Amino acid sequence: MLTVRPIGDPETGARYPPQAGDVPDGFHLEFDLGQEGWLKANVSGTRIAGDGKYYFRWAGKMTGEVSQSGTDQGNDAHGNESLLTGSAIFEQFVLAE
């Protein structure tokens, strides 16, 4: 299972589900890794493309951690911190009704 939610002020574009014109500061992702635990990550960056209303693309950074359960604080089974960092390109599409 993957859960993605916008980060930022809901008044300025971090609503879920996104609405036309919403531009969040980034996204929080949670991946259920089964017996391996959870990968939780935040992505944020600079807008590099989009139409200003229904589609946006960002390039930026991603930070995250792997935890053994939904409530762990980023430590693996041996007590070692598992902080991860990297680059990301991510997109948001708004369903137009």
Output the pLDDT for position 72: 46
Q: Which residues pair with 81 in a beta bridge?
A: 75
Phi-psi label, residue 17: left if phi above 0, alpha if psi -120 to 50, beta otherwise: beta
Measured between alpha carbons, how far is 75 from 69 in angstroms, rounded to an integer? 10
Within 13 Å, how many C-alpha atoms sit on residue 23's CB side? 13
Domain residue ranges in the chain: 2-93
3-state class of 5 per DSSP? strand
Full-model pTM: 0.76
Residue labelled with tokens 């604080």: 73
| Tens-digit pLDDT profile for residues 37-84 | 999 999 999 999 999 888 999 999 999 999 886 554 444 444 445 789
- The predicted structure's pLDDT at residue 50: 92
